Amino acid sequence: MEELVEDPGIEEAAEVIERYVARPYTVQVNGLCSVNYQGRAKSSLDRGERLVVIKQDSALLVHGPENYQPKNWQPEVDSWNVESDEELLLTAKRNDPDETVELRFEDVETVLVTQMVDRSELKLRGHEIDIHESIEEDPELVEEGLKVIERERKTPAGYIDVFARDPEDRYVVIEVKRNPDYNTVLQLQRYVDEIEDEFASEVRGILVAPKMTDNVLDYLDDHGLEFVEVEMEDVIASYESLDDSQTELESFSEV
């Protein structure tokens, strides 16, 4: 911990904040403040008790007592300004897009300054791309006898996730989505149209997703397209076994 002040006056709080803001410190300010934002949109937030966090990369968060998301924020601040008399005015300006967040503190309860060291990266499984790879690894996840021709095939309408052929030698366009919606259906339709044009033959379109809603499924049916459900757990499992084998290879090569 770099610094911790309890119940400072406005002056002292301003000093501490000014000292650490715009430097690679994490500053947590608990206090009573109001917020004005102007930029891509415009907002105002009346006085209330909030937790303000200024991160080491200058990200700014203004959290109320509830919700995952901050009430106001700025992903990256280019210039800071601290002013004080009766109140503490903290201004955070971003250049592109041109945006400003103004915090006006009437009272500051605590200011806590730390310098976090965190070199670990999040390892996440279950991305859409993990599904692609699982399918390429094991096309039977989608359908028996399916043969993958190409992944990320480029067409004038965009990239096809997986391009394949079924046992009856029909072309199959596969669109993978974690969270499919109506638009996904049209996207798939467009790829199918493209491929039908290109190969002048009937083409199947399959939407592969870990979940589906009735309405989107209906819409898919209307378009003569198909749906195959994949279990996210299967995907993660297949991905992990793949990952393990790679790790083994790596450690082997290190010997």
Partner DNA sequence: GTCTAGAGGTTGATG
Partner DNA sequence: CATCAACGTCTAGAC
Q: Contact positions toward its own copies, by CB under 8 A?
A: 1, 4, 6-7, 24, 26, 28, 30, 34, 40-51, 53, 55-57, 59, 61, 63-68, 71-75, 109-110, 112, 114-127, 157-158, 178, 182-183, 186-187, 189-190, 219, 232, 236
Site residues, DNA (CB under 7 A):
37, 39-41, 43, 59, 67-69, 72-76, 94, 96, 99, 101, 124, 126-129, 152, 154, 157-159, 161, 175, 177-179, 181-183, 187, 213-216
Q: Which of its own copies, DNA, none does residue 101 bind to, with CB < 5 to 8 Å depending on kind?
A: DNA
**Residue with smaller CB distance to its own copies, 165 or 223:** 223
Q: Which of DNA, its own copies, none does residue 123 bind to, with CB < 5 to 8 Å depending on kind?
A: its own copies
Least CB distance from residue 170 to DNA, whole Å?
A: 22
**Residue with smaller CB distance to its own copies, 163 or 219:** 219
Q: Which of its own copies, DNA, none does residue 154 bind to, with CB < 5 to 8 Å depending on kind?
A: DNA
Q: Which of DNA, its own copies, none does residue 236 bind to, with CB < 5 to 8 Å depending on kind?
A: its own copies
18 — phi, psi (to 5°)? -60, -35
Read off the tokens for 44.
């105002």
Would you say 33 and 50 are in contact if contact means Cβ atoms under 8 Å apart? yes
Q: Which of DNA, its own copies, none does residue 145 bind to, with CB < 5 to 8 Å depending on kind?
A: none
In sign, the C-alpha dihedral spanning 9, 15, 16, 22 is positive
Q: Which of its own copies, DNA, none does residue 118 bind to, with CB < 5 to 8 Å depending on kind?
A: its own copies
AA letter at 193 = D
C-alpha 180/C-alpha 19 separation (Å) is 48
**Residue with smaller CB distance to its own copies, 147 or 229:** 229
Measured CA distances, 117 to 24, 25, 114 (Å)? 11, 10, 10
Read off the tokens for 152.
């990320």
Pairs from 217-225 (Cβ < 8 Å, separation ≥ 24): 219/182, 219/185, 220/185, 220/188, 223/185, 223/188, 223/189, 225/185, 225/188, 225/189, 225/192
Least CB distance from residue 70 to its own copies, whole Å?
A: 8
Least CB distance from residue 75 to its own copies, whole Å?
A: 4
**Residue with smaller CB distance to DNA, 99 or 146:** 99
Q: What is the β-pairing status of strands 226-229 and 203-209?
A: parallel
Would you say 139 and 172 are in contact if contact means Cβ atoms under 8 Å apart? no
Least CB distance from residue 26 to DNA, whole Å?
A: 14
Q: What is the β-pairing status of strands 60-63 and 72-74?
A: antiparallel
